[in-house]
Amino acid sequence: MRELSDRVSTDSALIDVGSVEAIKERLVSYLIHTVGVDPEFAVARDWLYATASLVRGILSEQYLNTARVEYDQDVRRVYYLSLEFLTGRSLMKNLWSLGLVERVREALKSLDQELDEVAEVEFDAALGNGGLGRLAACFLDSLATHAYPGFGYGIRYEFGMFNQKIENGQQVEHPETWLRYGNPWEFERPAILFPVRFGGHITCFKEESGKTVCHWVDTEDVMAMAYDVPVSGFGSGVVTKLRLWSARATRDFDLDVFNAGSYIDAVKDKTISENLSKVLYPADTTLMGQELRLKQEYFFVSASLQDILARHLRRHHDNLDDLHEKVAIQLNDTHPALAVPELMRLLIDVHGYEFDQAWDITRQTFSYTNHTLLPEALETWSISMLESILPRHLDLIYQINHRFLTEVKRHFPGRPDILGRLSLVDDKARQIRMAHLAVVGSHKVNGVAELHTHLMRQHVFADFAGMMGEKFVNVTNGITQRRWLLQSNTQLAGLISEAIGTDWVTDLSQLHRLEPQATDSAFCERMQAIKRANKERLAALVEARTGVVLDPAAMFDAQVKRIHEYKRQLLNLLHVIVLYNRIKDGNPPAHPRAVLIAGKSAPGYYMAKLIIRLIHDVADVVNNDPAIEDRLKLVFIPNYNVSTAEVVIPGSDLSEQISTAGMEASGTGNMKFALNGALTIGTLDGANIEIKDAVGDENIFICGLTAEEVAEKRTLGYHPWDFYNGNADLKRAVDQIGGGFFCPDDPGRYQPVVDNLLRNGDHYFVMADFASYAETQARVEAAYGDPEAWTRMAVLNVANMGMFSSDRSIHTYAKDIWRIKPLKQA
Ligand SMILES: *Cc1c(COP(=O)(O)O)cnc(C)c1O
């Protein structure tokens, strides 16, 4: 085994994968021996599993080697705790990482299979809702690519994000059984098993020494079992992992209990425990106070921490004193914030530490990323629920709070008002504020874009920032250029590499060297041809999924993201209606436009679902009106996910990033589009501001109120009616929605939409921003009429995306927050 070498190999694979011929032989062998299918009758899925088995074996070798190097170098590591990882498919990612794409393509071809068709059969691993989960997946890719020590922890949901179907124009959620054929990437680890406890009560007693010791007793236990998914680094030979926990009934491991009770009850019990890892909560940015969610959060946090401590103890001889020297733990939002009291519990109750020392270790171990300022998304848990499910943790939270408030009193003498605002406990609502717990329990708190961090300091955490300003830092989000350019836009990636070489794949700042190409007509023509090909691919996807035929010559204008009022799909839709009316009035746009919208709504989010329905009703009218011809199309692409994004983004001309200023923490979709040469129409929100600063004001279309103006209007009073009465186009569109123009059989259907815009205060400033948005769209249209100028702008966008790589984000976290260094690759 030692000859695997004790350094991280920079070769693409340690075992000799060899020639195309050798790969072919091994694929056939895996097909027969692992998949168990006759090559004669094998279908694409069988070949997918055979190929994945081959790749998984290589990844496993590299993983073992990486783990050994990490062990030998005994370096500080980071653990990324996230309830979501929106990974998408893995076959092509891993082939790219290993440098095997072409050889595997040829080997499959010699077996009469097309790699692209085989890859297409893979289910998306959709263990996340949207941006937050996708960020976690990009971060793992960057960690592995740059050989940082550490890995991710999450939950192996049996049902990931739901499959969105559209029935009668409405979203219907179907369970996504992504594990139906087995997950070819994971390694089941039946021996890596930790008990997780719930309920019960606390008994404390004084030992002879006078020390008070508490026991958590009479608990109901569930077992957490590990599954490891290898995460390949690009060309680094480093493979890290994502460890996902799956719930198992303790009954399976305790035959006596099983035999003592009734068999049927025991099996029933088993089902209840195993429900814990059954399903991902599909609500993005709204909080869900359900008991099962709380249990999921604790389940995954407890198993991960037990695993981390056991690893540390194996290595560092029964001593956790220096845990924070060897371990950094990142909390991706507050979802894993129970890790703070859980580490305290483990240190105090299990390992015998005093509160003070435990608290020191804890605070130096954790850091927390805040992802949202939306009040409805800030997690709180009811005290009564915590009391019954996690009584010891509630107790520890009270102790933490007591200490913290003592500090606050010292810091702000004579300011009892601040005490109540900073407290971890909301006494009135009888709730625990998880964000406060995460802030107090961490040594660093970061926002995810400059504006977001600024607002976080000014508003949600203003009092905290007044007390511990240095704790709050910014790390702007990023995306991995490996998935979002190299893999999903191979032609553009090839063109870029021809011009500037391939260093950009692991150092995106190299893209700035493309800048001179913006005035090179040959380069720009090729850029146009590539965009055209990507638009044809996207048009084919749209036709296959919706039956609507798009003309690739039209401007492809895309808004793809979760459906949420703050993201303002409605603003886009109002503009579509205005364009429709103008064509009907004999005033058509200079260029045909296809507006593409995709995204899922939380199942219980009434208004978002109504907006999806409205999009469909408007699309029906627009797409079937012969007077419109091909000048305007509106399509809703069902079931937006990572794989859909990989086709939509390269095929779009215009990227819609029009959230109400101050409400989108960062956005990462905005970065993906710009990196693929789409121009952005957007508000001064989240990372849009940094994109504008990077590409220059003249290469982006900015519209709408600023965050400050929105805040000012909120305090001084905002009158949406003024905008309605002051803009004839807008008034007509709103009246059509409210009057049933798009649903004559049920004319009142969209009254709630109009009520929100006019009577309920238009919380998201759609009315206020409409005129600016429509004018900016007119500028977009004019610019699109000059293909040379448009392409020049697109090239400049690509050239200036260097800082939006998740590699840059990870380097910043590593240096400023985690204090970790890449493994030495001797
Ligand atoms: C990038 C991505 C998101 C996040 O998009 P935003 O526009 O930043 O909200 C959501 N879902 C998927 C599938 C993505 O790839």
Strand order in the sheet with 425-426: 380-382, 431-433, 425-426
Residue ID of nearest Cα to ligand 1 atom 15 = 642
C-alpha span between 590 and 462 (Å, rounded):
49
C-alpha span between 283 and 602 (Å, rounded):
5
**Which token pair is 724?**
């309605």
Cα 316 from chain centre? 34
pLDDT-based confidence at residue 16 (cuts at 50, 70, 90) = low
**Percent of the chain clearing pLDDT 70 (strictly above):** 95
- What does DSSP assign to residue 479? B
Residue ID of nearest Cα to ligand 1 atom 1 = 669
Evaluate whether 171 touches 569 at the Cβ level (below 8 Å). Answer: no
**Which token pair is 401?**
């709070």
Burial bucket for residue 604 (CB in 10 Å: 0-12, 13-18, 19+): exposed
**Which token pair is 140?**
């793992």
- What does DSSP assign to residue 485? I
Domains of the chain, CATH where assigned: 75-88+124-321+329-476+811-818 (3.40.50.2000), 495-804 (3.40.50.2000)
End-to-end CA distance of the chain: 19
Our answer on whether the CB atom of 668 is closer than 6 Å to any ligand 1 atom is yes
- 278-287 pLDDT, tens digit each: 999 998 767 6
The per-residue pLDDT for 2 is: 28
C-alpha span between 158 and 125 (Å, rounded):
10
Evaluate whether 453 touches 616 at the Cβ level (below 8 Å). Answer: no
Residue ID of nearest Cα to ligand 1 atom 5 = 669
Residue at token pair 């077996």: 111
Residue ID of nearest Cα to ligand 1 atom 6 = 669
Span 215-233, average pLDDT: 96
Span 754-766, average pLDDT: 98
Evaluate whether 690 touches 670 at the Cβ level (below 8 Å). Answer: no
Residue 328 has pLDDT above 50, yes or no: yes
The per-residue pLDDT for 373 is: 86
Within the chain, what is the greatest distance between any pair of CA atoms? 92
Residue 6 has pLDDT above 70, yes or no: no
Q: Catalytic pick from 89, 324, 371, 792?
A: 371
The Å distance, Cα 357 to ligand 1 centre, comes to 41
**Which token pair is 782?**
């004019």
The Å distance, Cα 276 to ligand 1 centre, comes to 26
Residue 93 has pLDDT above 90, yes or no: yes
Evaluate whether 311 touches 346 at the Cβ level (below 8 Å). Answer: no
Q: Is 561 a catalytic residue?
A: yes
C-alpha span between 169 and 612 (Å, rounded):
7
3-class SS of residue 360: helix
Residue 816 has pLDDT above 70, yes or no: yes
Average pLDDT in the chain: 94
C-alpha span between 660 and 564 (Å, rounded):
11
Q: Is 567 a catalytic residue?
A: yes
344 φ, ψ (degrees, to nearest 5): -60, -45
The β-bridge relationship of strands 380-382 and 366-369 is unpaired
Residue ID of nearest Cα to ligand 1 atom 4 = 131
In order of 216, 334, 385, 408, 428, the CA distances from 402 in angstroms are: 21, 21, 20, 10, 17
C-alpha span between 10 and 573 (Å, rounded):
50
Q: Is 633 a catalytic residue?
A: no
Q: DSSP characters for 507-523?
A: -GGGGGGGGGGGG-HHH
Residue ID of nearest Cα to ligand 1 atom 9 = 561
* Strand extents, DSSP E, 487-549: none
Lowest mean pLDDT among 102-116, 262-276, 460-474, 585-599: 262-276
Q: Catalytic pick from 531, 562, 616, 633?
A: 562
Contact residues for 25 (Cβ-Cβ < 8 A; gap 6+): none
C-alpha span between 160 and 139 (Å, rounded):
20
Residue 265 has pLDDT above 80, yes or no: no
The per-residue pLDDT for 416 is: 87
Q: Which residues pair with residue 329 across a beta bridge?
A: 79, 366
Residue 11 has pLDDT above 60, yes or no: no
Burial bucket for residue 417 (CB in 10 Å: 0-12, 13-18, 19+): exposed
Our answer on whether the CB atom of 131 is closer than 6 Å to any ligand 1 atom is yes
Evaluate whether 172 touches 166 at the Cβ level (below 8 Å). Answer: yes
**Which token pair is 317?**
């001889």
Best residue for ligand 1 mutational test, from 86, 162, 568, 658 (most atoms within 8 Å of Cβ)? 86
C-alpha span between 682 and 679 (Å, rounded):
10
- 605-647 pLDDT, tens digit each: 999 999 999 999 999 999 999 999 999 999 999 999 999 999 9
Span 642-655, average pLDDT: 98
pLDDT-based confidence at residue 586 (cuts at 50, 70, 90) = very high
pLDDT-based confidence at residue 3 (cuts at 50, 70, 90) = very low
The Å distance, Cα 669 to ligand 1 centre, comes to 5
Our answer on whether the CB atom of 669 is closer than 6 Å to any ligand 1 atom is yes
User: Against a cut of 0.85, is the pTM above it?
Assistant: yes
Our answer on whether the CB atom of 134 is closer than 6 Å to any ligand 1 atom is yes
Our answer on whether the CB atom of 642 is closer than 6 Å to any ligand 1 atom is yes
C-alpha span between 572 and 586 (Å, rounded):
21
